[in-house]
Amino acid sequence: MPETPRWLVRAGRSAEARRVIQKTVGSSSDGGGDPDSARLAGGILRDIEVEVREEAESAKLTNSSEWMRGWQELLTVPKNRRALTIACLLQGLQQLCGFNSLMYFSATIFTILGFPIPTLTSLSVAATNFAFTAAALVLIDRVGRRRILLCSVPFMVVGLLLAAVGFRFFELPPAAAGNDSPSSSSRDAAVVILVSVMVYVAAYALGLGNVPWMQSELFPLSVRSLGSGVATCVNWSANFVVGLTFLPMMDALTPTWTFALYGAVCAAGWVAIWMIYPETSGLTLEEATGLLEDGWGVR
CATH 3.60.60.10 fits 74-291, yes or no: no
Domain boundaries, the chain: 5-60, 74-291
Q: Which residues contact 190 (CB under 8 A, 6 or more apart)?
A: 113, 114, 115, 166, 170, 182
Write out the chain's pLDDT in tens, 299 residues: 678 888 888 888 888 888 888 887 766 555 555 677 777 788 888 888 887 777 676 555 445 566 778 888 899 999 999 999 999 999 999 999 999 998 888 888 888 888 888 888 888 999 999 999 999 999 998 999 999 999 999 999 999 999 999 999 887 655 444 455 556 667 888 899 999 999 999 999 999 999 999 998 999 877 888 999 999 999 999 999 999 999 999 999 999 999 999 999 999 999 999 999 999 988 887 788 888 988 888 87
> Residue 178: its pLDDT value, please?
46
- Whole-angstrom distance, CA of residue 185 vs CA of residue 170: 7
Cβ 38 vs Cβ 22: under 8 Å: yes
> Which stretches of 31-117 are DSSP H helices?
35-59, 63-76, 78-96, 99-112
Cβ 199 vs Cβ 158: under 8 Å: yes
Angle between helices 99-112 and 224-276 (to 10 degrees): 70
pTM over 0.85: no
Cβ 210 vs Cβ 140: under 8 Å: yes
- Whole-angstrom distance, CA of residue 255 vs CA of residue 161: 11
User: Which run of H or of E encompasses 33?
Assistant: none
- Whole-angstrom distance, CA of residue 115 vs CA of residue 186: 11
Cβ 223 vs Cβ 73: under 8 Å: yes
Taking CA atoms, 24 is separated from 29, 51, 127, 205, in Å, by 10, 20, 36, 30
CA angle 60, 66, 69 (to 5 degrees): 125
Cβ 26 vs Cβ 49: under 8 Å: no
- Whole-angstrom distance, CA of residue 85 vs CA of residue 298: 14
> Residue 66: its pLDDT value, please?
67
User: Which run of H or of E encompasses 237?
Assistant: helix 224-276
Among 150, 148, 95, 140, which residue's Cα sits nearest to residue 267? 150
